[in-house]
Structure 1
Amino acid sequence: MRSLAVLFDQWYRTLQAPRKHLDVVDTAGHNVIFEEPDRFVAALDRILADG
């Protein structure tokens, strides 16, 4: 059985979008916005600044 990380990497490589950005928060799970709110906001700020 392949790990979720491998499946995600395959999916992300095939994802076609005008822009895409991957920001991994190792210390959080699926609820990163609640578990690491400061890092979540910082990531959004970087993404929006790159416009």
Structure 2
Amino acid sequence: MSAIENFDAHTPMMQQYLRLKAQHPEILLFYRMGDFYELFYDDAKR
């Protein structure tokens, strides 16, 4: 996942997302942002 290359440059929320996604690369990871759920990176393309 190229988004992890500069992990420290990400916000704490995105660092948590990237950590979880690295542990479970095969699943779609919906992340709650306020009232909505969002997908990021390759998950958003599927």
- TM-score, with length taken from structure 2: 0.29
Point out the structure with the larger strand share.
Answer: 2
Q: Of the two, which has the highest radius of gyration? A: 1
User: Bigger relative contact order, structure 1 or 2, given CA contacts below 8 A and separation 6+?
Assistant: 2
